[in-house]
Amino acid sequence: MIFEHLALLGRRRSGLRESPSISEVREDVFFVEGPASNWTIVREGNEFILIDSGYPADGFRLMESIRALGLQPRRAAAMLITHAHSDHVGSASHFSRFFGTPILAAPAELPHLAGEEQHRVTVPQVLASAGRGATLPWLVHAVRAGGLKKNDVQGRPWDPELLAALPGGPVAVPTPGHTPGHTSYLLPRARAIATGDAVVTGHPTSGRAGVQLLHPMFHHEPELVRTSLSALAELNATVILPGHGPTAEGPLSALLAPLVS
Q: Are 41 and 30 in contact (CB under 8 A)?
A: yes
Number of domains in the chain: 1
For residue range 50-73, list pLDDT tens digits in order: 999 999 999 999 999 999 999 999
CATH number at residue 62: 3.60.15.10
Please give the average per-residue pLDDT across 119-147, as a whole number: 80
CA dihedral 94, 214, 65, 136 (to 10 degrees): 80
pTM of the complete model = 0.91
Among 154, 220, 182, CA closest to 81? 182
Give the pairing type, strands 21-26 and 29-33. antiparallel
Q: Which residues are CB-contacts of 158 (< 8 A; sequence separation ≥ 6)?
A: 80, 104, 105, 106, 172, 183
**DSSP secondary structure string for all residues of 216-242:** GGG-SSHHHHHHHHHHHHTS--SEEEE
Cα dist. 22→29, 84, 97 in Å?
10, 23, 26
Gap between the Cα atoms of 261 and 247, Å rounded: 22
For residue range 210-258, list pLDDT tens digits in order: 999 999 999 999 999 999 999 999 999 999 999 999 999 999 999 999 9
Among 252, 260, 258, 243, CA closest to 32? 243
In the chain, DSSP finds a helix count (H) and a strand count (E) of 9, 14
Give the pairing type, strands 209-212 and 76-80. unpaired
Q: Which domain holds residue 140?
A: 2-260
Residue 97 has pLDDT above 70, yes or no: yes
Gap between the Cα atoms of 42 and 163, Å rounded: 13
